[in-house]
Amino acid sequence: MPRPILATVHLCALRHNLERLQRAAPDSRLWAVVKANAYGHGLERVFPALRAADGFALLDLAEAERLRALDWRGPILLLEGCFEARDLELCSRLNLWHVVHCEEQIDWLAAHKTHQPHRVFLKMNSGMNRLGFRPAALRSAWARLNALPQVDEISLVTHFSDADSARFGTDGIAHQLEAFAAATSDLPGERSLCNSAATLRHAARELGSGALSADWVRGGIALYGSAPDHPEHRSADWQLQPAMTLASRLIAVQQVEAGESVGYGSTFIAPATMRIGIVACGYADGYPRHAGSGTPVLVRGVRSQLVGRISMDMLAVDLGPAEADAPPCQIGDEVVLWGRSRHGALLPVDEVAQAAGTIAYELLCAVAARVPFALDESEPATVAAAA
């Protein structure tokens, strides 16, 4: 039989999460963000569940080609725009919309020969200080684009750095909202402001004469069932469902005596006689090596924890005290690293990420190519986070 690790993508959860974001911003259109191979879930796997979105947003031209090959004829937005001048040829051929965030991209458009004018999203750096034109330079960039015959419609976009927190006043977005509103107040064109966190936390608010959610919202991590502002809110608080389960099985059970160690480096010492389960999952599968003892797992639907250091292909979990009346665990028993257990319990990926000192994005995107995937079309049973 194959090694028992498996990642399962839950299509009903994806549909549910998409509808949840659409309800949060009912007057806006929604980009389903599928960059990084749909946050590790697989572009082709998630597409059937997300095709009710108004458009798809991503980074790579190759991913855009894959979407068109799936017969998606709606909008596709390149979130970082073109990386070199010749990318515009593919934008023309595939009818891609693209972000413009620097003068060089405008130069490339000015030199581009096309029969089909491009739809562009002019990006403003409202405080993230990553991509985009600063407020003082935005109008000049807009005027250059507006004068080009290669450009059709110009939309306006920005990205919040702290929509998931209360930093800088009004839940982290006030200073950027003020900068964006001041710089764009009389410019025409559609707006896109909200990512997952801003959509769930702020989309119903008003900005000037229109909703903060504006014309387009960008649904990213929330589509995949992670709370964008964890730990302030859990995924259940936002009525999100996990779109991926990473599960494996016990391949060995050991009894460890008090004072004995487990794993490389002897970082875990048994405080008493205990049972240890060995699970077919390691850092070569994408599980974070820096996850330490105490990181939660589910064994047969019951919450337990990692012990010792993660190996390339294995990790160890606590199966409890070695007592005669302890529930037996045996080779083949299910171990859920995150997601849904067949026994009805749920372990949110956010909790695992927090215990490992990282974020859910990294765990989902890091699942290795050697891990097989399966699709699940079934409606989830009523589940609760394992206590």
d(CA 244, CA 38): 11
Say whether both 186 and 51 belong to one domain.
yes
The domain tally of the chain equals: 2
SS3 content of the chain, % helix, strand, coil (to 5): 30, 25, 45
Say whether both 182 and 39 belong to one domain.
yes
Say whether both 187 and 283 belong to one domain.
no
For residue 154, what are its two tokens?
Answer: 């110009």
pLDDT at 204: 67
> Whole domain around residue 348: which residue ranges?
242-374
pLDDT at 387: 46
d(CA 45, CA 81): 25
d(CA 121, CA 191): 9
For residue 209, pLDDT beyond 50: no
Q: What is the CATH number of the domain that holds 125?
A: 3.20.20.10
Predicted confidence (pLDDT) per residue in 6-23, tens digit:
999 999 999 999 999 999
Domain membership of residue 4 (yes or no) is no
Say whether both 16 and 163 belong to one domain.
yes
Active-site residues: which are they?
A: 35, 264
Say whether both 97 and 185 belong to one domain.
yes
One-letter amino acid at 122 equals L
Domain membership of residue 235 (yes or no) is no
For residue 294, what are its two tokens?
Answer: 């105490």
Domain membership of residue 237 (yes or no) is no
Mean pLDDT throughout 26-37? 96
d(CA 364, CA 41): 7
Mean pLDDT throughout 169-195? 87
Give 385's pLDDT tier (boundaries 50, 70, 90).
Answer: low
Contact in structure between 110 and 148 (CB atoms under 8 Å): yes
Give 328's pLDDT tier (boundaries 50, 70, 90).
Answer: confident
Say whether both 147 and 278 belong to one domain.
no
d(CA 106, CA 88): 11
For residue 307, pLDDT beyond 80: yes
What values do phi and psi take at 350, rounded to 5?
-60, -40
Predicted confidence (pLDDT) per residue in 101-140, tens digit:
999 999 999 999 988 999 999 999 999 999 999 999 999 9
Instruction: Check whether 312 is labelled as a binding-site residue.
Output: yes
pLDDT at 239: 97
Q: What is the CATH number of the domain that holds 263?
A: 2.40.37.10
Instruction: Check whether 1 is labelled as a binding-site residue.
Output: no
Residues 6+ apart with CB under 8 A from 318: 274, 275, 276, 277, 304, 305, 306, 307
One-letter amino acid at 279 equals V
pLDDT at 137: 97
Q: Of the given ranges (34-43, 44-53, 211-220, 325-334), which has the lowest mean pLDDT?
A: 325-334
Predicted confidence (pLDDT) per residue in 227-282, tens digit:
999 999 999 999 999 999 999 999 999 999 999 999 999 999 999 999 999 999 99
Among 225, 260, 279, give the residue marking a domain's end: 225
Q: Name the average pLDDT for the chain.
A: 93
Say whether both 195 and 266 belong to one domain.
no
